[in-house]
Amino acid sequence: MADTINLVLFSGTDDKLQAAAILTAGAAALGKRVNIFLQYWALDAFRKDRIDLDHGLAPEAGAEGRMAVDQLRAAGQASWKETLAQAKELGEVDIQACSLSMDVLRLEESDLDPIVDGVEGVTAFYLNTNEGDIIFI
């Protein structure tokens, strides 16, 4: 397994973001560096004024899926934001906003939650991938 794992987050639903957060935390626990690149609806979910809101679930979830997720949260599972924060504390996790998506969503860096480390373009993202896998969520 490479020393670096790269996640491109496109989907903005809570289930996919949680999956991304868990992949990040697991990698950080193994001492891997994680580079996260936020695009479109994932980026939108990291807005300062939206990060703590309910972002819904992917259509596949349905009512049953909703219940299952709610049960796990009620049992004390950390939110994706908390899981990412813990991953950052544990290891090297860098979260960058895609500059094109910033333009599409008409965002300024100050609109983003402080958990986001900066804004970059796809070229910088590629240069930092360090031959690690790129996972698209």
Partner 1 sequence: MSTLDIARTVDAKGLSCPMPIVKTAQAAKEMPSGALLEVLSTDAGSVKDFAAWSKSTGNEIVEQSADGGVYRFVLRKK
Query: What residues make contact with partner 1 under the rule CB under 8 A?
Result: 1, 22, 25-26, 28-31, 72, 75-78, 83, 86-87, 89-91
Contacts of 86 by beta carbon, 8 Å cutoff, 6+ apart: 25, 78
In the complex, minimum distance from the CB of residue 103 to partner 1, in angstroms, rounded to a whole number: 34
With respect to partner 1, which residue has the nearer C-beta, 28 or 119?
28
Least separation in angstroms between CB 85 and partner 1: 11
Q: Residue 41 Cβ, how far from partner 1 at the closest point, in Å?
A: 24
Nearer to partner 1, 77 or 128 (CB): 77
Helices (H), 3-120: 14-29, 40-45, 62-74, 80-90, 99-104
- Smaller CB separation from partner 1, 11 or 83: 83
Asked if 16 and 41 count as a contact pair (C-beta separation under 8 A), the reply is no
CA distances from 21 to 10, 16, 127 (A): 13, 9, 22
